[in-house]
Every structure is written in C-alpha cells, then in structure tokens.
Structure 1
C-alpha cells in the first residue's frame, strides 16, 4: 500500500511542479515580449500591422540570423551598429 500512496503523492507533486513551471514560463514569455518590443520600437516596424509583422518574424526565424541578414543586404558589421 505504501507504494500506491507514494505514487499518488508523487503524481500530485509532479502536477504542482508542472503548474509552477507553466507560471514561470508565462512570466518569462511576458518579459521576453517586453524586451523584443523595446528593441523594435523606433525601427519603423511598429507601424506594420500585427498580422504582417508576425509573418515577417516567422519568415526571418525560418531563414536564420545570418541568412536573413544576407537576404536583406545587411552586413554583419553594420548590423551591430
């Protein structure tokens, strides 16, 4: 019987831990969104529609950083300025 009770207690603890991790993930996602917003403000993309900005971001993400810079004609040296 102890094993059964132990397994039940372990499952309950796992569920509680999972909820804590989910909450932490939501907090970090909100902070990351704020950081990204700060980076993008003043670049001109804030005037893009949400739908198109998301599509552009997804396309750039699929390309990867180096390829995206190359496709946009931006050299690494000028990208860090």
Structure 2
C-alpha cells in the first residue's frame, strides 16, 4: 500500500509542479512579447498587418541572424550580439 500511496502522492506533486511551470511559462512569454514589442516600436513595422508581421518574423527566424543581415544588406557582425564577453 505504501508504494501506491507514494506513487499517487508523487503523481499529484508532479501535476502541481507542471501547473506551476505552465503558469511561469505564460508569464515569461508575456514578458518576452512585451520586450520584443518595445524593440520594434518606432521601427516602422508597426504599420505592417499582424498577419504579414507574423509571416515575416517566422521567415526571419528560419534564416538565422547572419543570413538575414546579409540578405537585407544591413551588414554582418563578426561576433554574435548576445555573446558573453571574455574576461
């Protein structure tokens, strides 16, 4: 009996943790969307339709940062923007 009770308790704990993680993920997705929105405001893309903007974002995401910069003739960086500086 102890094993069944232990397994049931563990399952209940797992379900509770999963629900907390789902809530945390939703919060982080909302914060990430806000950060992205702030970066894009004033860039001109706010004039794009939501459908087109989503399609453009998906296409850019598939290409990768360097390839996009080259295609758009923006230039390319020698190091990724989010790289950790070496001390």
Q: TM-score, normalised by structure 1?
A: 0.93
Pairs aligned (count):
78
Q: Which has the larger helix fraction?
A: 1
Alignment of 1:18-57 (within 5 A): 18-57=18-57
Show structure 1 runs of 5+ residues with no match: none
Residue equivalent to 1:16: 16
Residue equivalent to 1:76: 76
Aligned-pair Cα RMSD in Å? 1.2
- Deviation, 1:43, is 0.2
Show structure 2 runs of 5+ residues with no match: 82-87
Alignment of 1:49-68 (within 5 A): 49-68=49-68
- Deviation, 1:76, is 3.1
Runs of 4+ in structure 1 deviating by more than 3 angstroms, as ranges, are: none
Q: TM-score, normalised by structure 2?
A: 0.87
Task: Provide the C-alpha distance between the structure 2 equivalents of 1:52 and 1:75, rounded to a whole number of angstroms.
Answer: 24
Task: Provide the C-alpha distance between the structure 2 equivalents of 1:69 and 1:56, rounded to a whole number of angstroms.
Answer: 14
